[in-house]
Amino acid sequence: MSNGRFRLAALVPAALALFVSCAPVAGPSAAPTQLVLLTHDSFAVSEAVLDGFEAAHAVDVQVLKAGDAGSMVNQAILTKDAPLADVLYGVDNTFLSRALDAGIFDTYSPAALASVDSPLTDGTQGVVTPIDYGDVCINIDKEAFTGDVPAPTQLIDLIDPAYRGMLVVENPATSSPGLAFLLATVGRFGEAGNVTWLEFWRGLRDNDVLVVDDWDTAYLTSFSGGASTGDRPIVVSYATSPVAEVVFADPPVDAAPTAAMTDACFRQVEYAGVLHGTKRPELARALIDFMLSPEFQSDVPLNMFVFPASNLATIPEVFTDNAAAVPDPVTLDSADIAANRERWVTEWTDVVLR
């Protein structure tokens, strides 16, 4: 969901062309067939889990990371006539309409979709498969709010002068969580009323909001919580980010030093699809099946710090104990996002950056 979360090292963009020319060698001693998965930088899977799929299908899965979810989708669209990969994972509901309109996927609906709740399949058109979901929320550095200023509890609190200079957000034009947060403000405040979404952003601008290009810069550099060294105690991240703060804490901690504010979180769903033009359609479909299997789905929470889409997944206790429950996430119809996304981003840019 780049996304941006807690990620492994990405392959450099210059490596994109390396996989295009690879082909299996015929004969009884042939090397495994190569299957390329195009994804965002936040993708992670346990080596043993992926090894199991490779062994079962005599295939070598090459994971090709292409930056944020938005950058990844743009790469796939620009190269759709000569696809760089066989499968794409990580397009989310903020960018899905762009990918579907570009026709980059083949139709495929795995049988295991029966284990996925229907809201996660809305708008997929039988083309892409939900793999996971997460809620983009405001996160706070708890230590920063132990004095006279209480931690914010509602989105509207962030325009209060008491929180001036405290918030860092990602640019919705360059970041998937940034776009998700923009959509959260649209869903919460709307385009008419006493405080519209644009008026809210004017308030944030006047309250010295810091805008950065991506989640890494926002959370790992500008935010003051956890292991970060920044000076902004409020950041746009995920309801599950406190889980990672516990899992990766050194020395270990009993409770996360950060917390997610559950008001006006945007539910972000990530999908996988078979890229149109793949020369290995059967293996590509098998990889989609695998990504929805209980084995892979149970591996998702502590590798990508999001919720698995399948009801058959096992979710670790450390995850459920530390992830913030979001009882009423903001959602927008995919058709509304498709029709208005570019306008909303342009209007946001005019108000916040100019």
Helices (H), strands (E): how many in the chain?
Answer: 12, 9
- pLDDT value for 94: 87
- Show the tokens assigned to 188: 């919460």
Angstrom distance (rounded) from CA 123 to CA 314: 26
pLDDT at 78 over 70: yes
Can you identify the CATH homologous superfamily of domain 13-133+269-322? Periplasmic binding protein-like II (3.40.190.10)
Q: Any bridge partners for residue 169, and if so which? A: 211
- Please state the domain extents for the chain: 13-133+269-322, 136-266+326-352
Mode of pairing for the β-strands spanning 129-141 and 307-308: antiparallel
pLDDT tens per residue across span 3-54: 445 433 333 343 444 333 444 444 455 667 999 999 998 899 999 999 999 9
Q: Any bridge partners for residue 237, and if so which? A: 137
- pLDDT value for 5: 52
Mean pLDDT score of the chain: 90
pLDDT tens per residue across span 296-346: 999 999 999 999 999 999 999 999 999 999 999 998 988 899 899 999 999
For the whole model, what pTM was predicted? 0.85
Segment 112-140 mean pLDDT? 94
pLDDT top residue among 275 and 66: 275
- pLDDT value for 238: 95
Angstrom distance (rounded) from CA 56 to CA 139: 41
The strand ranges marked E within 66-192 are 87-92, 129-141, 167-170
Segment 190-208 mean pLDDT? 95
Segment 179-189 mean pLDDT? 96
The strand ranges marked E within the chain are 33-39, 59-65, 87-92, 129-141, 167-170, 210-212, 234-238, 258-274, 307-308
- pLDDT value for 25: 44
* 13-133+269-322 matches 136-266+326-352 in fold: yes
- pLDDT value for 175: 87
Tell the CATH topology of 136-266+326-352.
Answer: D-Maltodextrin-Binding Protein; domain 2 (3.40.190)
Which phi-psi region, left, alpha or beta, contains residue 43 (left: φ > 0; alpha: ψ -120 to 50)? beta
Phi, psi of 260 (to 5 degrees): -100, 135
